[in-house]
Amino acid sequence: MRRLRPWALVLGGLLCAAAAAAGPPPRSYPHSAVLDGAAAYRLRWGRRGSALAFRLEVRTRGYVGFGLSASGGMASADIVVGGVERGQPYLQDYFTDENRVLKKDPQQDYHLEYAMENSTHTILAFSRELHTCDTNDKSITESTVRVIWAYHHKDMGEAGQNYHGSNRGTKSLRLLNPEKEEVLSASLPYFDLTNKDVEPLIQKGHENLVHHILLYQCSSNLNDSVLDYGHECYHPNMPDSFLTCETVIFAWAIGGEGFTYPPHVGLSIGTAADPQFVLMEVHYDNPSYTEGLIDNSGLRLIYTPVIRKYDAGVIEAGLWVSLFHNIPPGMPEFVSEGHCTLECLEEALGAERPSGIHVFAVLLHAHLAGRAIRMRHFHNGEEQKLLAYDDEFDFNFQEFQYLKEERTILPVRQS
C-alpha cells in the first residue's frame, strides 16, 4: 500500500461531545462494513456465542468469495466461496497455500444458513466458530484481521476457479469489537473540520483515497499566524508549533465507523481548561499516482449542550517518538517497552483523581514499523487482563477500541 504524504491543518476552536438515545433492540448483525470502493460488497456480522455469523450482500449473480488473510493477500488465506447456481445455494470452505493455490479444505468449518439472489445481488449468510482447531483456518481474535473479498459475474461451477479480475481487495477490520448500543439523534448540533476551512466526512468519490484521519490536541498558545493553513506533515515548512500537537483525541480509519462516547461521558469543550486548538492529520492512499487530486474530507463533530457526568480525557502510555529509539538493522523482531509507573500515575492523578480513572476505550497507536501492540495493566504488582492488544496491527487501521467493560486505573497502591 503506498501512501501520499499526510497533510495537517490546525484549527482554532472547539472540540466535540457526542450524544446517545435509548438503545435499539438487539440486531442479528450489529456490525457492518462496505469492503470495496464502489459499494458493491457489504459485510455484516455479529457474535453467536463462540461463533461469528456473517452476511454478505454483493452486487453480482455469480460467486462471492470472502476470506481472512495474515498479509491481506491471497497467499496462506482462509477462504469461503458461495453463491446461488441454478436456484441451488452452495458454500465451500477453501484455503490457499503460500503460492496462492486454492484448495478445498478437508474440514468444512463455514456453515451456510441461507443464500439468495435477486435481480442484482447475491446474499449469503453463514457462520463459523472463532477457533475451528483446523490449521487451514485462521482463528478470529480481538486483533485486527485483514479481510479479503472477491466476486465474479459467473458462478463457481460455470467459472471454475476463474480469476476474479479486479473485483477483489482487502480491508482491515476488528471482528470482535463490542456492540455499540447508542444511536445518534439526527437533531444534535455539529460542526465540521475539513481541509478547506466525530464522524468521518469523506468527500464523495474519495472513499478509497482517504486512508485515515487523526485529530491531535495542540498547545493552547499557538500563534494566530499558524492557524487555518494546511501544511504537508513533517515538511521543513511545517510550523514548529505543530509539533506540540501530540495527544491523539480522535482517530478514524478506512473501515472504521464514527466514534461515540459512552452515555455518561463527554469530551468537554469551551472552558479554559479544554483543548483550544486541534490538528487534523489526513493520510491519503493513491496507489495509481493519480495527479491533481484535491480533497476536502474531514471530520464531523457532534456535540450536546447536556453536560455528561464524566469528562473524557486521554492518558498516553508507551514510548515517546524519539531519535534515540532505534531498531538495530537485521533484527527479525524487536520489542519496545514503555512504562507508566505508579510514581508517574500518582503524580498525574493522585491529587485530582485519587479514586482513579475509568478506561472505556483504547487507541493502539504506532507508526509504520509497528507490527503488534499490547497494553498491559498491573495492580499491586500483579498483572491483570490485557487492557487491549493487537497482534496484527495495521498502521492504516487505527481506531479507538471500546472495552467490553470499563477498567479502573488507580494512582495509588492499595493494601
Ligand X SMILES: *[C@@H]1O[C@H](CO)[C@@H](O)[C@H](O)[C@H]1NC(C)=O
Q: How far apart are the first and last CA of the chain?
A: 51
Using CA atoms, how far apart are residues 308 and 315, in angstroms rounded to an integer? 19
Other C-beta atoms closer than 10 Å to the C-beta of 333 total 7
Which residue lies nearer to ligand X by CB, 227 or 340? 227
In the complex, the smallest distance separating the C-beta of residue 54 from ligand X, rounded to whole angstroms, is 14
Our CB check for ligand X shows the closer of 64 and 302 to be: 64
Cβ closest to ligand X, residue 118 vs residue 166:
118
Residue 38 or 70: the one with the smaller Cβ distance to ligand X is 38
Q: Which lies closer to ligand X via its Cβ, residue 151 or residue 259?
A: 151
Residue among 223, 235, 209 nearest 8 (CA): 235
Cross-strand bridge partners of residue 379: 382
Could you identify the residue written with the cell 439472489? 117
Measure the CA–CA gap between 255 and 192, rounded to whole angstroms: 20
3-state secondary structure of 77: strand
Residues of the shown chain interacting with ligand X in the complex, contacts defined by CB under 6 A:
57, 118-121, 123, 223, 225
Closest Cα to residue 8, out of 221, 208, 216, 251? 216
Q: Nearest approach, Cβ of 119 to ligand X (angstroms)?
A: 5
**DSSP string of 79-107, one letter each residue:** EEEEEEETTEEEEEEEEE-TT--EEE-SS
Shortest separation between residue 42's beta carbon and ligand X, angstroms: 8
d(CA 261, CA 274): 17
Neighbour tally for 30: CB within 10 Å = 16
Shortest Cβ distance from residue 312 to ligand X (Å)? 30
Tell me how far, at minimum, the Cβ of 245 lies from ligand X, in Å.
Answer: 17
CA distances from 159 to 36, 152, 168 (A): 22, 8, 16
Task: Please give the backbone phi and psi of residue 270, each rounded to the nearest 5 degrees, phi first.
Answer: 95, -15
What the block records as the C-alpha cell of 303 is 456535540
Q: Give the DSSP per-residue string, 175-210.
A: TTPPPP-----TTS-EEEEES---EEEPPTT-TTTE
Contacts of 163 (CB under 8 A, 6+ apart): none
Q: Quote the cell numbers at residue 111.
A: 456453515
Instruction: Name which of 58 and 74 has its Cβ closer to ligand X.
Output: 58
Closest contact distance (angstroms) between CB of 240 and ligand X is: 11
Nearer to ligand X, 119 or 135 (CB): 119
- Minimum distance between the CB of residue 220 and ligand X, rounded to whole angstroms? 13
Using the minimum distance from each CB to ligand X, give the nearer residue, 119 or 290. 119
Distance between CA atoms of residues 53 and 44, nearest Å: 8
CA distance 342 to 257: 34
Cβ closest to ligand X, residue 227 vs residue 366? 227
Quote the DSSP letter at residue 137.
S
* Choice between 123 and 373, CB closer to ligand X: 123
- What is the CA 358 to chain-centroid distance, rounded? 22
Q: What is the smallest separation between the CB atom of 193 and ligand X, expressed in angstroms? A: 23
